[in-house]
Amino acid sequence: MELDELERIKTALIELNDRTVAASRPKVPANKGPTKAQSDLAELESLLAAEPELGRLTELLTRHRDARRDLQVEREKQIRAEAKPNPAAEASAAAALAARGVALDLLATPFTSTWVTLDTPFLIWEFPHPNADIFLDSGIVPGASWVKALVNTRTGPKGTDFRFHFLWENPSAYFAVANVWSSVIFNGYASARAASGRLSGYWANLSVESYQRVIRWSGWGNDPTTNQPADQTPYPTYDYYATKKTVVAFNAYGGGWFSDSTWPSKHFDPTWPYESVHRLVAIPGRAVTLFEVGFTVAWAFHDGYVGSDPVEDDFQEVVFDVAYDPLGRIARCPGVQLEILTPT
């Protein structure tokens, strides 16, 4: 492309961007005097100034607000000071790009597409270890393996992780490229409540995520980027956010004298699977691959600023219930579907 033509394209793009920004800029209305809210605020400020007792309350609330703001400023300064290059993350990104490049090179020639279904896990487990109060039951059923799990607690922070494990061996002596599909289906209920306070309340957090992970189990040789043995290591993930789905992300607030509480909750729809996909996995001939399909549950109670735990309160609570039999609550994994692309 000629230099002059390139400059004309750049100029046209700049003009297009300017027009787009100007069109999207909100129109500022003309100043027509104070609104009712502004008038009410001015009247309130006059009352507070006229009443000594109310004036002291204003001073107290102001100090409280400023102290919380200063804590936030200090936290942001600490975050900026600790923001350093992450060699491990950079190495992971490089490995993911290299693995994706291998798969794309293989698919540059003609290939055939077939589907393989892994409908029966060989293991269902809770990590880091089974908890009898949470992991209530499980069953291995072709196409519908399941877990019964219940989190109902007033203490934290804690978390747990349930996984369905599937194995597949590449039957060919040659590389295969796999697109890996999986899902988790929930039938149940989740909610979060936090303890109340005076000037401000506490927070209760509950998060649930479903995910898929590909493990190079055996016969994978050495990793091409590190030249270290690849067996029993995770396959480098290029599109990390395609391999997980957010099921619940609750931030419950307990409320205080001047703020209302929030109590988030959710009923899971058993017709709505949370699907994850790991695309372009290049699997060597005869190699064995382990697929993990799972979901994590994490929860915490805190004050929202310095992170201190509140005292145990009868009101604060997080619930994640996929176990209540009378309502058919359960978590299911239908299996893993592999789209196998084999170069011819």
Interatomic CA distance for residues 134 and 148, integer angstroms:
8
Interatomic CA distance for residues 319 and 329, integer angstroms:
13
Place of tokens 């006059």: 46
Say what the pLDDT of residue 247 is: 97
Interatomic CA distance for residues 202 and 70, integer angstroms:
18
Assigned token pair, 336: 């893993």
Q: Is the pLDDT of residue 27 over 80?
A: no
Interatomic CA distance for residues 306 and 102, integer angstroms:
47
Say what the pLDDT of residue 35 is: 65
Interatomic CA distance for residues 244 and 274, integer angstroms:
8
Mean pLDDT for all residues in the chain: 87
Residue at 73 is within a domain: no
Say what the pLDDT of residue 117 is: 97
Closest CA to 166 of 124, 211, 130, 221: 124
Residue at 62 is within a domain: no
Q: Is the pLDDT of residue 61 over 80?
A: no
Say what the pLDDT of residue 241 is: 92
Domain count along the chain: 1
Cβ 275 vs Cβ 268: under 8 Å: no
Interatomic CA distance for residues 225 and 93, integer angstroms:
11
Ramachandran assignment for 114, one of left (phi > 0), alpha (psi -120 to 50 degrees), beta (any other): beta
3-state secondary structure of 303: coil
Residue at 70 is within a domain: no
Assigned token pair, 94: 């490089």
Interatomic CA distance for residues 246 and 269, integer angstroms:
14
Residue at 295 is within a domain: yes
3-state secondary structure of 305: coil
CA angle in degrees (0–180, nearest 5) for 97-102-105: 120
Say what the pLDDT of residue 278 is: 96
Residue at 249 is within a domain: yes
Give 275-294 pLDDT, tens digit per residue.
999 999 999 999 999 999 99
Structural domain of 280: 123-343
Say what the pLDDT of residue 200 is: 78
Say what the pLDDT of residue 285 is: 95
**CA-to-CA dists, residue 66 to 7, 206, 214, 229, 309, angstroms:** 51, 29, 48, 55, 22
Cβ 286 vs Cβ 219: under 8 Å: yes
